Amino acid sequence: MSKTLPYSMKDVGYDNAKFRHRSLLKTFIQSSLTSNVKRECTKCSTGKFLVLLLIGGLTYLMITHTSTSVSVSSNAKSNNIGTEELSSLRRFWRKPPRLPPRLSPDEMSSKSVPNRTLEKLNTKSIWMARQQKVKEAFLHAWSGYKTYAMGYDELMPLSRRGVDGLGGLGATVVDALDTAMIMGVEEVIVDAGSWIEKHLSERISGKGQVNLFETTIRILGGLLSAYHLSGGQGGSSLHKGPKPVVYLDNARDLADRLLVAFTSSPSDIPFSDVVLREHSAHPAPDGMSSTAEVSTLQLEFNYLSYLTGNPKYGLESMKVFEHLKTLSKVEGLVPIYISPHSGEFNGENIRLGSRGDSYYEYLIKVWLQQRGRNSTYLFDMYEEAMKGVRHRLVRQSVPNGLVFVGELPYGSQGSFSPKMDHLVCFLPGALALGATKGLTKDKAVKESILTFEDLENLKLAEDLTKTCVEMYSVTSTGLASEIVYFNTEGNSESGPDGGNKSSEYVHDIIIKPADRHNLLRPETVESLFILYRITEDPKYREWGWQIFEAFEKHTKVDTGGYTSLDDVTTIPPQRRDKMETFFLGETLKYLYLLFGDESVLPLDEFVFNTEAHPFPILGNLVKQ
């Protein structure tokens, strides 16, 4: 036979549902009903009488309490009747104060929505203000160029004059145009568009030697992006300036002249240089082409083929990748030189810095542009290469463990070099794009498209982005040098640090005297932009703002423009007198987008060429 559970008389005074003290009345009733008194008293008439009296008294109190409440609302004078007697009874029988109800986590979340909304609005206003600062910087850079160098390739802001270092096609005009369109700076759109309409065609037909790679990514890429953003085929917005067809006509004319670099080569690897007015091409003086340069043409030529309906541009450029697919590699990694005569790699130097970088970038970006168009082999090459990077090139610094990508200057059998160009800071963005295919991380998780390797690549992207930011933080100016070296276990580099003794990583990073310059490069802010869009982590915005403030403090020229620096480790830094076109075309564009609305140029709808010119992903377009 089961026994009753033991309990203490203290339990009688508590209401278990709310864990609060019961009223005296409840306690009395509970005690009466649970004691032997009930059983004994109800056996006699006196006990029965007392129970009935108790019930009658309770009923009377309830009735008088209710009637009093009603009478208060109907006749205020009745408050004087029996006030003292009723109040004394109520004090005796009053209910204990009720505790406020406990909210569920969901209810608590909904209650805090107004506060979170307000916080979000405040945060949004901060980033809108910072985005406006970037626009002001762009206008300051453009004003210097327009005043002292309009029509030249680049501005020398200290000597206040222009210089042609990229073939004389007005590279800054074309490179900056789509940035102005994205920012909505109509006066710059009119200035640049009018110059292109009046002068560029003549320049293209009359100029001499240009570099195939630089002309394709800056001029051809800029024209095609401007065509789209100005309302051309598939475009979504209109701006002042010439009709979009002006940009497309110039792009077609330029590409027809550049094609000779492909068609005159004895292999599928194009020559590096083109003479525009002669429709001729030739190799570089040493006979070699850069691996990165020959494989960083395809986004532009593919898009031109789509726009014109003429497949020749895409076909010629894609022959390069189809050929590179057949060559032997070191776990997907390739040497930085290739011969257009033999079609074979030259030398063994493997790196993701200069002359190697954008080969890996365009593997994933061309695949994204061409998805569903027989380009699966590009993604396979990309995946193999990233495995090779993780296995062969990724190391950690000492004493604080920064993750970095080094080099194999003597090939797979040679020694490892802990050298990392600032150019390598494109890689985190490329890794993140390859992992989520341009979607946010949360969306990619919900759609179950992330593989284990994707997650590894995304983690590497985040680690490398931090390293790239620390390359800025370790210097006295807060701006990165062109090249750094890392101290590693058993291989400590000798040399000076970046000058910022308060940096946690001052002993991890070495900056040699010849590498201390800064060219206003965009690679780190490019990766910050992509990582913020994909992870939605606000730290990437904050890091970008720190970098922008350093540019403003140390590179801004009062008379107009911004200048490169000779030494980022000293204050004040020595200035170099050069504003690269990519400062307007890339650096400021990525900063503006980093601080702006995530719906502008979404990464699952647009792919940026290596000069930050956005093209729509072809699979998303419907031909009109």
Active-site residue list: 214, 357, 482, 523
How many CB atoms are closer than 10 A to CB 432?
Answer: 27
DSSP state of 270: P
Assign 3-class secondary structure to 571-589.
CCCCECCCECHHHHHHHHH
Q: 3-class SS at 506?
A: coil
> CA–CA separation, 403 vs 589, rounded Å?
27
Give the chain's largest Cα–Cα span: 128
Cα R_g (the chain), whole angstroms: 36
* 478 phi, psi to nearest 5 deg: 80, 15
Give the DSSP H/E element, type plus range, for residue 485: strand 483-486
Q: Among 298, 294, 220, 205, which residue's Cα sits nearest to residue 252?
A: 220
How many CB atoms are closer than 10 A to CB 60?
Answer: 10
Which residues of 121-180 form beta strands (DSSP E)? 154-156, 161-163
Asked if 581 and 154 count as a contact pair (C-beta separation under 8 A), the reply is yes
Which residues, including other chains, have CB under 8 Å from residue 184's CB and lie 6 or more apart?
239
Question: Measured between alpha carbons, how far is residue 439 from residues 435, 450, 451, 462, 538 in Å?
Answer: 9, 11, 14, 16, 17
Asked if 298 and 319 count as a contact pair (C-beta separation under 8 A), the reply is no
**Structure token digits, residue 87:** 């109040």
Give the DSSP H/E element, type plus range, for residue 403: strand 403-405
Peptide bond into 513 cis (omega under 30): no
Give the DSSP H/E element, type plus range, for residue 175: helix 171-183
By residue count, the chain amounts to 624
Asked if 460 and 487 count as a contact pair (C-beta separation under 8 A), the reply is no
* 314 phi, psi to nearest 5 deg: -65, -40
How many CB atoms are closer than 10 A to CB 460?
Answer: 21
| DSSP code per residue over 525-576 | HHHHHHHHHHH--THHHHHHHHHHHHHHHHHB-TTSSB--BS-TTSSSPPB-
Q: 3-class SS at 608?
A: strand
> CA–CA separation, 309 vs 516, rounded Å?
47
> CA–CA separation, 570 vs 476, rounded Å?
6
**Structure token digits, residue 231:** 């309302």
**Structure token digits, residue 130:** 């910072």
How many CB atoms are closer than 10 A to CB 522?
Answer: 25
> CA–CA separation, 417 vs 422, rounded Å?
15
How do beta strands 614-616 and 606-608 pair?
antiparallel
The reply to whether 610 sits in an annotated binding site is yes
How many CB atoms are closer than 10 A to CB 149?
Answer: 24
For the annotated binding site, the residues are 610
For the annotated binding site for Ca(2+), the residues are 610
